[in-house]
Amino acid sequence: MTALQINPGQLTLAQLRASLAEGAQLRIDPAAAAGVAASAQWVRRAADGEAAVYGVNTGFGKLANQRIAHADLARLQLNLLRSHAVGVGEPLEPRVVRLVLLLKAASLARGYSGVRQEVIDVLLALYNQGITPVIPCQGSVGASGDLAPLAHLSLPLIGEGEVLFKGERMPAAPALKQAGIAPVKLSAKEGLALINGTQVSTALAIDALLACDRLFEAAVISGALTLDAARGSDGPFDPRIHAVRGQPGQIACAAAYRALMAGSDIRKSHLENDDRVQDPYCLRCQPQVMGACLDQMRHAAQVLVREANAVTDNPLVFEGELVSGGNFHAEPVALAADGLALAIAEIGAITERRIAMLVDTVVSRLPPFLTPEPGLNSGFMIVHVTAAALASENKSLAHPASVDSLPTSANQEDHVSMATFAARRLQPMLKNTAHIVAIELLAAAQGIEFLRPLRSAPELEGVLRLLRSVSPAMMQDRSLARDIEAVHHLVAAGDIGHAIESQIPELLALKLQ
């Protein structure tokens, strides 16, 4: 069981990764309590005062000019949660919802939202007791906060809505009772603080980012294995080439390829007899393409970690003053998610090109379609078609979501980010690309079979052993569907990277910080 103490405003990517572990337990730094209490006190004063304060004693959105009687302020917050819980679609994955609970608690605990400590405590209790609110995945435009999904997250705090608990979907009230958690009675502004914010889109994007890290590592390794199978040149990975360009991701990737390929007997066997002047781009330009993707991923990581630490509801409390603004607009998340989508699509695109190269005997100088008896056997012919279909699908999914905007709330909310969809569509893209990488690993391993008894680099031989543990070489046609799924599982779980036996500093540099 992982115990994590959260210091509001200081969450790290490593902590966010650890929070996804099964059974992780959260605790907020007690030092945050004073700021939370002071902020809540200022909201109570505003609620008791005569001045109109948005979200405290007024309606919401286009109805902000409607003044609410003091006797109805608690009911106002209840109505807000109930009216906004209108999401549709399949429920979000429990791991994502747990991350939303963490992000919402950490944001409120910074002491600018005007909620009481009891609200934060119940969010943490849900997380620590394994009670997962059921959140439909569709219904947010990523501005004014993730209103609908956060309303579904928040209903269980008051004993309403649905949750997953002990493997069962059930109404929230009996789940809270079983866990010994008392529902919260909301005070002024607390409903608004709960549903206003970017925590759902941010959690979806971070969940994808962490999976992208494992995918990227596997794709670098599969590319190195293909380079060896195709007997490609070492020249394009010369550190001097990459130093004069100066792109940090490219430099790191070139170093990783050099380290992965060091000591290959296959490479030694053809260095003096290779009559090819230059390799195809899918081999030669791997550091440039993958390095650009790595830089994009690292930029997205910076943006998303900042957003994980942000206060994104409205209005905010600053030393007694409640100030309205627009931190709920998720444009930073939308653009970061769109950047990740492009990187994921490009990883898949160049991987598919390497598979196409391997099955083309003219370019690879391997048997046609990687089978010893072409014609009688089709080999990897249609496996490549599957990879091409997935790469093409990713091209459509990679269209930027952030360039779209539909006005809502009677044109009060007239520009929105579409960040929630931008982040939600990343998981299907990751799955597509992980399958493409799995296919390349199988194809490259098959190519190496035709070069035996020569051995690949020691690091890559470890990967080959792992692949052969789930998929034997294919010298006669058989269905590779199960083999693809088995290797896809290795890619998604990060096992391809774990097959690298030594601690190569250049490879470790590829990890997101």
Give the pLDDT confidence of 126-138 residue by residue, as tens digits. 999 999 999 999 9
Residues labelled catalytic: 54
Structure confidence at residue 64 (pLDDT): 73
**pLDDT tens, N- to C-terminus, the chain (513 residues):** 678 999 999 999 999 999 988 788 999 999 999 999 999 999 998 888 888 878 788 877 777 778 888 888 888 899 989 999 999 999 999 999 999 999 999 999 999 999 999 999 999 999 999 999 999 999 999 888 899 999 999 999 999 999 999 999 999 999 999 999 999 999 999 999 999 999 999 999 999 999 999 999 999 999 999 999 999 998 999 999 999 999 999 999 999 999 999 999 998 887 766 666 689 999 999 999 999 999 999 999 999 999 999 999 999 999 889 999 999 999 999 999 999 999 999 999 999 999 999 999 999 999 999 999 999 999 999 999 999 999 999 999 999 999 887 777 766 777 888 899 999 999 999 999 999 999 999 999 999 999 999 999 999 999 999 999 999 999 999 999 999 999 999 999 999 998 886 555 556 556 666
pLDDT recorded at residue 445:
98
For 236, the token pair is: 């394009």
Written as one string, the DSSP assignment of 75-141 is: HHHHHHHHHH---EEEEPPHHHHHHHHHHHHHHHTTS-S---HHHHHHHHHHHHHT-EE--EEE---
pTM listed for this prediction? 0.95
pLDDT at position 277 is: 67
Handedness of CA 77, 82, 88, 92 (dihedral sign): positive
What is the DSSP code (8-state) at residue 146? S
What pLDDT is stored for residue 376 in this prediction?
Answer: 96
The per-residue pLDDT for 120 is 98
Question: In the numeric block, which tokens belong to residue 39?
Answer: 């902020």
Q: What is the pLDDT of residue 406?
A: 77
Residue 411 dihedral angles phi and psi, to the nearest 5°: 70, 5
From the list 211, 215, 208, 257, the residue with the least C-alpha distance to 487 is 215
What the chain holds in terms of domains, given with CATH numbers, is 3-197 (1.10.275.10), 205-312+325-402+417-508 (1.20.200.10)
What pLDDT, on the 0 to 100 scale, is given for residue 48? 85
The CA distance from 140 to 480, in Å, is 39
> Which pLDDT tens digit goes with each residue over 197-230?
999 999 999 999 999 999 999 999 999 999 999 9
